[in-house]
Amino acid sequence: MFAIYTYGNTVLRKKAEEISKDYKDLDSLIENMYNTMYSSEGVGLAAPQIGKSIRLFIVDGSPMSDDDESLKDFKKVFINPQIIEESGDFWTVEEGCLSVPGIREEVKRKSKIRIQYFDQNFNYFDEVYDGLKARIIQHEYDHLEGILFIDKINPLRKKMIRSKLNNILKGKVDVKYKVKFAIK
Ligand code: ZN
C-alpha cells in the first residue's frame, strides 16, 4: 500500500511524464494503486498522488453507482491519456480528493469528453464519456497536469477554505488512510 501525498507536496504540481510499454513493474504498481485506492475509499487515483510523476491513473466508480447505475462496472486504467476535446454544458458537482482530505467543494466542468489513452496492456482507445464518468476522468486527468480541484473553485470559497488548506500543509488533519504530508 502506498501513502497518499497530500496538498503541498510538489509532485502534485508537476506535469507528469508519459511512460513506455516496458515501464518496470507496471502491473504490480497498478495493483498496489488499486489496493491503496480501495483502502482510502476513493473512486480514482492518479500516480502523482502516490509520489510518481507519470501519466497513469486508475478509476473504479462502483462506490458511486447509487448516483449512476452505469458506474457499477466503470473500472479502468488510463495510461498516457490525452483529453482531446471537452464539450457539452457546464455542470456543477461536489468533488473531493484523497490528496486534499476533509475538503469537498463544488466544481464546474463541461459534461462530455473525448479521451485517447492506453490500457494496462497498452491497447489504444479513443472514447467519449459523459456525466459522472467524464467527471471522474477529468479530476484524475488534472492530477497529471499538476492541477487540483481546489484550483477550480470560486475565489470566495477558496478564501474560506484557506485555513483548512494550511492545516493540511501542517499535517493537522485527521486522515483514516496512510498519507505523506508536505511538512512533517
Ligand atoms: Zn484528486
Given a contact cutoff of 8 angstroms between Cβ atoms, the answer to whether 139 and 46 are in contact is no
Interval 82-111 mean pLDDT: 97
Q: Per residue, what are the HEC states of 87-120?
A: EEEEEEEEEECCCCCCCEEEEEEEEEEEEEEECC
Centre of ligand 1 to C-alpha 6, Å, is: 10
Distance CA 42, CA 98 (A): 7
The active-site residue out of 69, 127, 140, 145 is: 140
Say whether 140 is catalytic. yes
- List CB-based neighbours of ion ligand 1 within 5 Å: 97
pLDDT, one tens digit per residue, over 3-51 is 999 999 999 999 999 999 999 999 999 999 999 999 999 999 999 999 9
Report pTM.
Answer: 0.97
> Would you say the C-alpha torsion 162, 168, 171, 175 has a positive or negative sign?
positive
Dist. CA 11 → ligand 1 center (Å): 13
61 Cα–ligand 1 center, Å: 14
